[in-house]
Amino acid sequence: MDQSKEQRILNSVSYNAVKGDPESVINCIDKYCSQYEWAMNVGDEKGTILDKVVEEADPSVALELGTYCGYSAIRIARLLKPNTRLLTIEFNPEFASIAKEIIEIAGLSEKVTILEGHSEDIIPQLKKKYEVETLDFVFLDHWKERYAPDTILLEECGLLRKGSILLADNIIYPGAPEFIKYIRSNKRFECTSYPSHLEYMKVEDAMEKAVKDPGAAAMLF
């Protein structure tokens, strides 16, 4: 049986990237997906926005919804401080195992835990089974119609604190209209839109940042 696109991406990383060097893995995936086969990694342009928001969040515990090949997990984890971690949820077993290998090549297996399963099943387990108190940063990049219900689920499970930062990909293309409607009308969140482009294409896209109960100080000035 011929290989999947995701397997071909792993082949390219394993052949071309420098082991233990996250930047070389990121560059290798971006090169492969620009030149040979488009894939739904967040990419380098939106990836730079992701980097900035992760640095702003400086998270002790970060969560990603939708690992896919592990590209954004590597972008996030490479910026994490010692003794901090990224949990990333992926329900497709083939993608979970490919991501595991790519994250290993980047030398980031210590910082990244791939949780295989549906987000709606795993999120309620984060506190007890994965010893999470609250999440400092959440990257949403899975099925777009699940952004809103999973954000509500994170809230219901008490996983978001004052200042928790959510960042969502694909606000324009493919779009996440229910999420935008929900998060922008929710007084508890302060939202910012970051216009950009769809990965590897000249198509408009955007990312949305939502900060929960931003600092009270903000109200004083």
Ligand X SMILES: CCCNc1ncnc2c1ncn2[C@@H]1O[C@H](/C=C/CNC(=O)c2cc(-c3ccc(F)cc3)cc(O)c2O)[C@H](C)[C@H]1O
| Binding of residue 198 to ligand X (CB under 6 A) | yes
Degrees to nearest 5, angle at CA 60 with 195 and 132: 105
Binder of ligand X out of 78, 146, 209, 212 (CB under 6 A): 146
The verdict on whether 150 is a catalytic residue reads: no
Beta strand ranges found along the chain (DSSP E):
61-65, 85-90, 112-116, 135-140, 160-168, 189-197, 204-212
| Binding of residue 100 to ligand X (CB under 6 A) | no
Beta strand ranges found along 66-179 (DSSP E):
85-90, 112-116, 135-140, 160-168
Binder of ligand X out of 75, 78, 111, 142 (CB under 6 A): 142
| Alpha carbon 84 to chain centroid, angstroms | 16
Binder of ligand X out of 25, 53, 89, 106 (CB under 6 A): 89
Pattern 59-88, binding to ligand X, x per CB under 6 A?
Answer: -------x-x--------------------
Q: Is 199 exposed, middle or buried (0-12, 13-18, 19+ CB in 10 A)?
A: buried
The verdict on whether 83 is a catalytic residue reads: no
The contacts of residue 203 (CB under 8 Å, 6+ apart) are 173, 197
Binder of Mg ion out of 90, 136, 150, 169 (CB under 5 A): 169
Contact residues: ligand X, CB under 6 A: 40, 66, 68, 89-92, 95, 118-119, 141-143, 146, 169-170, 173-174, 198-199
Q: Which residues are catalytic?
A: 141, 144, 169-170, 199
